[in-house]
Every structure is written in C-alpha cells, then in structure tokens.
Chain A
Amino acid sequence: MYVYLYDNFLRQKKYDSVIKAVEVRLTDYGIAGKILRLNNFIDPKQIIDDEIKRGAKTVVIVGNDATFGYVLSRAATCDCTFGFLPIGPSNTISEVLGIQTGIEACDVLSKRRKESLDVGWMNNRYFVSQLHVLPAKLKVVYDERFAVTANEKMEVIVCNLQPFYWKKDKKDVSEQVVHPQDGKLEAFLRPLTKQGWWGYKYEDPSVFPFEEMEIVSDSPFTVEADGKVSKEVKVKIKLAHGKIDMIVGRNRKF
C-alpha cells in the first residue's frame, strides 16, 4: 500500500494542474494511495508509524528539497520504503536521485528501483540533505586524527544528498558545484578573510570526505540541518550506512 505525504505549499493554485496530472498517472499505474497533507504541527514520524501499522509499505514524499529533508530527518528510522515525487522549484536532491521533476517522476516510482541511502547523524538527530554551520571561529576534528583550523572565521557545509553550490565572489557568474558521492559525507570548509574595513571575503573551499567529525568552538555557533536551526558549542557528525530504503531513478549520481 502506498501513502503520499503532500507538502503544504502544494495547496497553492499554480500546482493544481501538476498534482491532478500526477494523481491521474499514479492511478493509471495502479499505485495511487492515501494522501496526507503535512503542516507545521504534524510530526511525520508519528503519522508514518501509524500508517505502517495500518499496512503501508511505501511512503512517497511529494514536494521539494525542504519537504524531503523535513520528513526523512524525522522518519529515517521508520521501517518502510520511501519514494519521492519532486514538484515545484528548488529540487536539487531529485537530480542526485535520478528522479525527474513533475509527472515523469511517476514512471520512476512505478519501476521501484530500490537503493539503500546513507544518512548523516548530528548530535542526536538525522539529516539527509545538508548541514550548514554559519561562519564562526571553529575547530574541525576529523576521525579523531587531524584538526583543521583557519586564521579567521570559517563556514562549514556538510553534504549528504544535496549538492553544494558556491560562488567565488559576487562577480563570479557561474555557480560552482560539487556533487557529493554516496558512501561518505563531504565537508566543505570556507574560511573568511578580512577585506577592507568591515568586509569579509570567502577563500577557496577545502574539501574533506569523512565518516566522522567534530566541530568545536569556544562560543556558540549556528547549525542548520535540513531546515532546522540550533545553537551548539560542540557538534559530532557521523554517517549512518544504509538507513533509508529509497526508490531511485536510473540516472542517479551514485
């Protein structure tokens, strides 16, 4: 049995036609199922657990990167197969998973090509897409073997499934991107150096693939993981292998 979790933004009128077309296609394939709408007051883990008890085997997330991160960061431990129907703007994870945006995603879903995905573990919660530490005076310790520091502030981005885009400076027209590989987390460290009186300039990023790392600072720093923001002094990030069973496309990037 299939359960579909729709994001709240899909209520907007402009998505009506796409949603209708998707629903028709899913019915054609015989994989239509119960539709649940997410909002800020719903805990995805609880409703997924309830649906699993009622016999659901596949949970399909319908929305964008934010929806994907919101659901999977909370429901990574649920014992079911996950699917993804990317709709609307800001869909970068779908590209990595090899799922086209819109109605074509139904074809991928119907083929049920399953892969185990790794999940990032941060302090006491999971993250699937990206973890972002805003610029601060940080010390990063990798696998308890070596430490990385910068002279000034440093920004850290840990990628799992969501690719990281960066620009060298404001004049840089082309956005630069590195696609994360599956099997390891990738950390991008961008030190900031002072420029002029009050300006800061981003240096070229350092890239470290890792399985475990610790970010430490004397003062609290802001961490954003899958859209959830918190202040921490010490963050331990690990990789949990093969936590999520996910339906992926043929053109996936891992």
Chain B
Amino acid sequence: MIFQKSTSKNVVEEEMPQYETPAGTERVDEVETVVGPSVNVEGDFASEGNIIIKGTVSGSVHTSRFLAVEQGAKIMANVRAGTAKISGEVKGNLKIRETLELTSSAKILGDIETRVLSVEPGALLFGKISMPGIEGAETRSAKPRVTRRGEETAEAGE
C-alpha cells in the first residue's frame, strides 16, 4: 500500500466547481470557457458553450448557454446569455433569455431583461428591470409616447 500509485489523473473532473442551473434548463457541459482570475479580456467575448468568469471582461459577453460570474469578477460590458448566475460586479445591460440568479455578493449597474429573476438578500442593483409576461405593460409604456407625439404635432401646427 505504501508504494501504491496516486489516484487516477481525472481528479479535476470531480473537483471542478459544479454550477447548478435552475430547474427546467438543460446544460451541455461539453465546451466550457473559463476566464481565470488576473486575466483581462477585451473585445466581443462570445462562446458557444458555458462561460465561467473569474477575472475582468470589457466589451461584450455573449453565450447562448450558461454564464457564471464569480465573486471578485468584473464585467464592464453588455451581457447576453441563456441563463446566468451572478456573484460578481456587472456594469452594463443584462439580457438573459431564461433565468437570472443574483447572489448576495452581486453588484449590477445596468438594465436587466429576463424571464425569471431570483435575487438573494444583499445583492445590489441599480437599473431598470423588464420581464415579459405582464399583459398591458407594453401598451402602458407606449401610451405617453403617443400623447407626446400628439402634443408635438399640435405644437407644430400652432
């Protein structure tokens, strides 16, 4: 037993953090992009698979699948993703197709557009939240515009 070789080399697969996606969404774990700490990414950062961000990203972030922003990570970009779990800082607009989860350490400066939103106590948020599903929400927001335009035309007529 003393000379027993160390365990199989596939240890990481067990040790790598497993991100739980919200129920009802499927995740394909085949391709995974990881932005490690002390790494800076600039430009249009797009990936076909899941993205895990631990460092800094500026520009734009786009994935059709899962996005995880870890504590200490900074994103200065507009974000588009399938589902997202945010524990870091985001300066920019978030457009999430399915579910957005904000943990207690999350800091968001920007507008959010998502279908399902869950916010843990302690999360900081500054921006507009819009979620599809409320009937009449669009017409209500559209009404003042119509009147304004009407006023404008009336003013122009005078």
Q: Do A and B bind each other?
A: yes
Interface residues of A (CB under 8 A from B): 145-152, 163, 165, 173-179, 181, 184, 189-191, 193, 203-209
Q: Are A177's CB and B12's CB within 8 A?
A: yes
Given A145-B44, A150-B40, 13 other A-B residues pairs in contact with their CB atoms under 8 A: A146-B41, A146-B59, A148-B35, A151-B38, A174-B7, A174-B11, A176-B11, A178-B12, A181-B30, A184-B31, A206-B39, A206-B55, A209-B31
- A159 shortest CB reach to chain B, Å: 13
Contact for A146 among B11, B34, B44, CB less than 8 A: B44
- In the complex, whether B15 has a CB less than 8 A from a CB of chain A is yes
Q: Which residues of B contact A145 (CB under 8 A)?
A: 43-46
With contacts A173-B6, A189-B36, A193-B38 taken as known, whether A204 is within 8 angstroms of B11 at the C-beta atoms is no
- In the complex, whether B10 has a CB less than 8 A from a CB of chain A is yes
Q: Are B32's CB and A150's CB within 8 A?
A: no
Q: How many A-B residue pairs have CB under 8 A?
A: 82
- In the complex, whether B33 has a CB less than 8 A from a CB of chain A is yes
- In the complex, whether B42 has a CB less than 8 A from a CB of chain A is yes
Q: Which residues of B contact A179 (CB under 8 A)?
A: 10
Q: Are A150's CB and B33's CB within 8 A?
A: no
Q: Which residues of A contact B39 (CB under 8 A)?
A: 148-150, 189, 191, 203, 206
- In the complex, whether B54 has a CB less than 8 A from a CB of chain A is yes
- 6 contacting pairs across A/B (C-beta < 8 A): A146-B42, A174-B11, A184-B31, A191-B36, A205-B36, A209-B47
Q: Which residue of A lies closest to B42 (CB)?
A: A147
Q: Which residue of B lies closest to A175 (CB)?
A: B9
With contacts A181-B31, A206-B35 taken as known, whether A147 is within 8 angstroms of B9 at the C-beta atoms is no
Cα distance A245–B133 in the bound complex, in angstroms: 53
Q: Which residue of A lies closest to B15 (CB)?
A: A176
Q: Which residues of A contact B46 (CB under 8 A)?
A: 145-146
- The residue among A163, A178, A181, A205 with the most chain B CB atoms within 10 A of its own CB is A178
With contacts A147-B42, A147-B43 taken as known, whether A204 is within 8 angstroms of B37 at the C-beta atoms is yes
- In the complex, whether B49 has a CB less than 8 A from a CB of chain A is yes
Cα distance A44–B51 in the bound complex, in angstroms: 41
Q: Are A146's CB and B45's CB within 8 A?
A: yes
Cα distance A163–B11 in the bound complex, in angstroms: 13
- B78 shortest CB reach to chain A, Å: 14
Q: Are B38's CB and A191's CB within 8 A?
A: yes
Q: Which residues of B contact A184 (CB under 8 A)?
A: 31
Cα distance A223–B43 in the bound complex, in angstroms: 26
Q: Are B33's CB and A207's CB within 8 A?
A: yes
Cα distance A190–B15 in the bound complex, in angstroms: 18
Q: Which residue of B lies closest to A208 (CB)?
A: B33
Q: When each residue 12-26 of chain B gets 1 if its CB lies under 8 Å from chain A and 0 otherwise, what string results?
A: 100100000000000
With contacts A146-B59, A208-B33 taken as known, whether A177 is within 8 angstroms of B11 at the C-beta atoms is yes
Q: Which residues of B contact A165 (CB under 8 A)?
A: 9
Q: Are B36's CB and A176's CB within 8 A?
A: no
Q: Which residues of A contact B12 (CB under 8 A)?
A: 176-178
**Which 5 A-B pairs have CB atoms at the shortest separation, nearest pair first?**
A146-B43, A206-B36, A176-B12, A207-B34, A174-B11
Q: Are A206's CB and B34's CB within 8 A?
A: yes
Q: Which residue of B lies closest to A143 (CB)?
A: B46
Q: Which residues of A contact B44 (CB under 8 A)?
A: 145-146
Q: Are B41's CB and A148's CB within 8 A?
A: yes
Contact for B34 among A176, A177, A205, CB less than 8 A: A205
Q: Which residues of A contact B6 (CB under 8 A)?
A: 173-175
Cα distance A109–B12 in the bound complex, in angstroms: 31
Cα distance A150–B38 in the bound complex, in angstroms: 6
Cα distance A165–B6 in the bound complex, in angstroms: 14
Q: Are B42's CB and A149's CB within 8 A?
A: yes
With contacts A206-B34, A209-B31, A209-B33 taken as known, whether A148 is within 8 angstroms of B11 at the C-beta atoms is no
